[in-house]
Amino acid sequence: MHSTDLSVVSLILDASLVVQLVMASLLLASVLSWTIIFDRSRLIKRAQRESEDFEDRFWSGGDLGDLYRGLDRSRDSLSGLSAVFHAGFREFARLRENPTMEPMALVEGARRGMRVAMSRELDDLEHHLSFLATVGSTSPYVGLFGTVWGIMNAFLALGNVKQATLNLVAPGIAEALIATAMGLFAAIPAVVAYNKYANSVQRLENRYDDFVEEFSNILQRQAHQGHARAS
């Protein structure tokens, strides 16, 4: 029989094993979600800040070769647009060493290098976002399962008593509803964070796409100028 103490801690401790396992899984999902939320927030903000800083340098009118050589000295720690630019310029410079290479082949090679680097950067930003989506979509149902199980046990326990009273069934229903509350507590932040970060990553992807096309146009002009001089 349940205790009449309706404090949250006592209700959790007095809950059935199944309901306790449901609560524990939801608590673990919530902790992991918040860890991912803070981690993704830091990484996405850093990517946005680095993109703005790099674009300022890129469009400042300086020599692109000097910009590339400066980035090449720290190539192992590059991220965001810096990594995309470095990959494209490196491939362009490597292909340009072949005097028979056609200008469009140079540009396409550089574009492929930038696309690979961009895909890698976006994959890093999207890492673990699927976990937030999973927690957001499944936690309410997991909590509901705990609630249904708890309420079922509460009413089954009434079969063992001669007279049913609210005092007998209230603790069981209360502990069951805690599972629903924990499910919502885990799901709501995960859904909000997933939507926010997915939108931020999409905006960064559009920004990277625009840069790849703009930089490809610059490389195309350089390739045609170099081909004309060689001819």
> Are 182 and 95 spatial neighbours (Cβ–Cβ below 8 Å)?
no
In the chain, alpha helices (H): 8-14, 17-58, 64-72, 81-96, 103-126, 129-157, 166-230
Integer Cα distance of 28 and 131 in angstroms: 13
> Are 40 and 196 spatial neighbours (Cβ–Cβ below 8 Å)?
no
Burial class (CB within 10 angstroms; exposed 0-12, middle 13-18, buried 19+) of 130: exposed
> Are 43 and 124 spatial neighbours (Cβ–Cβ below 8 Å)?
yes
Angle between helices 17-58 and 166-230 (to 10 degrees): 20
Integer Cα distance of 198 and 186 in angstroms: 18
Taking only the tens place, the pLDDT of each residue in 106-154 is: 889 999 999 999 999 999 999 999 999 999 999 999 999 988 888 887 7
* pLDDT value at residue 154: 74
User: pLDDT digit of tens for each residue in the chain (231 aa)?
Assistant: 444 455 666 666 766 788 888 889 999 999 999 999 999 999 999 999 999 999 999 888 888 888 888 888 887 788 889 999 999 999 998 888 887 778 888 889 999 999 999 999 999 999 999 999 999 999 999 999 988 888 887 777 666 666 656 566 666 777 778 888 899 999 999 999 999 999 999 999 999 999 999 999 998 888 777 655 655
Integer Cα distance of 122 and 124 in angstroms: 5
| Residue 160 DSSP symbol | G
> Are 226 and 105 spatial neighbours (Cβ–Cβ below 8 Å)?
no
